[in-house]
Structure 1
Amino acid sequence: MKSLKLILLGAVLATGGSFGGNASAESVTVGWFGGNWGEAFNQCVAEPFTKATGIKVIPEIGTSTVNLAKLEQQRAAPSIDAVWMDGGVSELAMGSGVIDTLDPSRIPNLGTVVPEGIYKRDGSISAVSTGFYAVGIAYNTKELKTPPTSWNDLWRTDLANELTFPSPANALGVPTIVFLNAISKEPGGMDETFKRLKTLKASEFYDSSGAAANALQSGEVTAAVFNSAPTWDLADRGLPLAFVSPKEGAWGGDVRLHLVKGARNKAAAEKFINAAITPAASACLANKLYLGPSVQGVKVSPEVARKLPWGTNGSVKDLKFLDWWDINKQRAALVDRWNREIAHK
């Protein structure tokens, strides 16, 4: 009998099991971005979540579009349980059918999120914002003596060949084209917008945000159509950079969390999403990324407040949000037109 017990114990140990029940710790796989974004998601959400619950968080690093492609390829058996995506790609994911609904009874902190941060499809919640950013103009405060104040300043002579602008390959590209068209006072619609874009003397059209950041860091350009969050991050590293919301307005975007349809660890993923929309997590993301809090009542220091997408005394209502469903309908045609008229001019 003693020999049998030893044999059974050896078999359990060999397979990594125990007599106590579950052989391995519970885990959740979460898709998020690389660089300082991923570091912030880890420090502000994942690490506190694991400490509080014991659930291990396994990151799946990738851009919004890369992780969406993974979800579409793995539709039958996804390896990702929850995923961060930018606005626009979020709607593509909803339309593709790879995103599950968020149940307020299982994710109660949804009730603390500002209305602008709750995204519904067919009446059900499909995504929740974890922070807002603005897209405007980043500029070098030492090199550019007169700060830009308008989108029209992109065509100023002192910015000729000193500017970088997002191409449609970048998440900011197509929505910026649509936004410039929306605020244009000229008749002619998109035809006039593309006619004007042809005259823009940009030194380059960047495909990745990293390329824009590198151009600003190296001094290759003195201005960029860029995201507020990485602009202030670069400024914190000692670069003479500032961000401007033009007088016509900055268009607003955000980073959103989603529950993957068919997630293997659905319950853990719902707990993770709930942990990402607490006041503590939202304040942490504001401090590290200067994302405007999506959770109501979050307080930050005056220095952080100054760098939020809506500034010290503003709010999420000051951002100009886009109709991503409409933009996605136009996306293919606008990319094709850009390639014909701008990229290959």
Structure 2
Amino acid sequence: MRKYQIVMSAVAMAGCMTAHAAETIYVGGFGGSTEQIFKEKIIPPFEAKTGAKVIYVSGNSTDTLAKLQAQKGRQEMSLVMIDDGPMYQAIGQGLCAKVEDSGSIKELYPNARMVGDRSVGIGFIATGLAYNKEVFAKNGWAPPTSWLDLADPKFKQKVVIPPITNGYGLLTLVMMSKLHGGDENKMDPGFDVMTKKVAPNVLAWEPSPGKMAQMLQTGEAALAVWGNGRVQAVIDQGAPVEFVYPKEGAVALMSAACVVEGAPQAKLGQQFMQHVVSADSQAVLSASQGWGPVNTNAKLSPDVMKKVVYGPDKVKALVSPNYEVINTKRAEWTSRWNRAVER
């Protein structure tokens, strides 16, 4: 009898261990190279440490947000990683749980803590200017230094900007408003400048990253608005292209994460968030994705430091958009943009 009890206890214990090891968390995130690096470098250490299984569900930010909205009250994903604009929408719709203020969360830059403490940034991206050095040299043009260069008549039909439905086009509009006496609450100055001065210079309102890269590489586009990570990828391919932090400030775009409200594995979701923003994970994402680290303790090689938003000075210099206003006005601005700017 005693021997039987011992055997049964061992079986029960093994069953518990197996159940724990089989605990599964679904994480929504970006596809492409980001998905690859998560599967190769970020997820395996977390699985080894926790014994849990991470299933990565890839999709763009809009698709992931739509899944959260559709599954409200019966969520399948425990954590999602999307762009900061859609993330503010998710927060406003009650889809994100409170961030646990512990572990590596305490090591974040203040502007990586999103309003309301229901999401955190997992990587800084600077939105600024990119230019083809060969085209500029051929024309005797000095390198661009300001957002206002987009309105210079000498760049007629030589500028490429993504549309307003893309974050880069939207942030260009916001900056033009800020530099002409307006802001997110007062967008008439921005629309006026975009319509009368910037739009005549625009060769294409290009939504495709691949096409943007091609136009910069070939010199078809002399000047563009884009993110530093995207530009760095073009530079790494050997193109004569340079990224510029405008003197008025580059605009902060963040990749952001939140634990889903009502998540099936909320505790694991909080742990995975802490793992993603840890100094080690941030160093991996900086080197592979061109995201500036949000963790103040992240250590980067000198080569990577030059390519990303790194250090308190660069982080502090970023201009932070007011997405609480932007998201309430996005549909109205898009309609106005399509009528007046991109025609």
The superposition leaves residues 70-100 of structure 1 with CA deviations (integer Å, 9 ceiling, x where unpaired) of 1001112222210112112111000111111
The alpha carbon displacement at 1:271 in A equals: 1.6
Q: How far, CA to CA, are the matches of 2:218 and 2:29 in structure 1?
A: 27
8 Å contact from structure 2 (residues 293, 309) kept in 1: no
SS in 1 for 2:136: coil
Measure how far apart 1:163 and its partner are. 1.7
What percent identity do the matched residue pairs reach? Answer: 31
| CA deviation string 1:25-53 (max 9, x = no partner) | 22211111122233333344223222333
Deviations 1:275-322 (A, max 9, x none): 111110111111122222111122212222222236x88331111111
Tell me if structure 2 keeps the 8 A contact 1:94–1:126: yes
- Equivalent residue number for residue 247 of structure 2: 247
In the alignment, what sits opposite 1:204? Answer: 204
Q: In structure 2, which of residues 69, 79, 90 is the aligned counterpart of residue 72 of structure 1?
A: 69
TM-score, normalised on structure 2?
0.86
| Range with greater deviation from structure 2 (300-309 or 209-218) | 209-218
Partner of 1:327: 326
> Following the alignment from structure 2 to structure 1, what is the Cα–Cα distance between the partners of residues 257 and 314?
21
What CA distance in whole angstroms lies between the structure 1 residues aligned with 2:149 and 2:327? 28
Instruction: Find the counterpart in structure 1 of residue 98 from structure 2.
Output: 101
Unaligned runs of 5+ in 2: 1-12
**What are the within-5 Å matches in structure 2 for residues 16-165 of structure 1?**
20-21=15-16, 22=18, 25-104=22-101, 107-121=102-116, 125-145=117-137, 146-165=142-161
Q: In structure 2, do the counterparts of structure 1 residues 36 and 143 end up closer, same or farther at CA, with 3 Å as the change threshold?
A: farther
Note the C-alpha offset of 1:185.
5.5
Task: Give the superposition deviation at 1:212.
Answer: 2.3
Instruction: Write the mapping of 1:196-235 to structure 2, written as runs, cut at 5 A.
Output: 196-198=193-195, 199=197, 200=199, 201-235=201-235
Q: 1:192 to 1:270 in 2, by over 3 A?
A: closer
Partner of 2:4: none
Structure 2 CA distance for partners of 1:239 and 1:37, relative to 1, 3 Å: farther
Higher alpha-carbon deviation: 34-43 or 24-33: 34-43
Change (3 A) 1:80 1:210: farther
Change (3 A) 1:99 1:247: same
Deviations 1:180-221, CA, capped at 9 Å, x for gaps? 21122599x633322321233211112344442343345432
- 1:301 counterpart residue number: 301
* 8 Å contact kept, 1:170–1:206: no
- Cα–Cα, structure 1 residues 44 and 119, in superposed 2: closer, same or farther, change >3 Å? farther
Q: 1:171 aligns with which of 164, 167, 170?
A: 167
Tell me if structure 1 keeps the 8 A contact 2:128–2:251.
yes
Judging by fraction of residues, say which structure has more helix: 2
Separation of aligned partners in 1, 2:58 and 2:213: 20
Residue aligning to 1:278: 278
Aligned to 1:12: none
What are the Cα deviations for residues 146-200 of structure 1, in whole angstroms up to 9, with x where unaligned?
A: 321111211334432222112111122223211221122599x633322321233
Name whichever of 159-168 and 40-49 sits farther off.
40-49
Q: Relative to 1, partners in 2 of residues 1:40 and 1:176: Cα closer, same or farther, differing over 3 Å?
A: farther
- Give the AA of the match of 1:116: N
Aligned residues: CA RMSD? 2.6
2:128 is paired with a residue whose SS is strand
Instruction: Please identify runs of 4+ aligned residues in structure 1 that moved more than 6 A.
Output: none
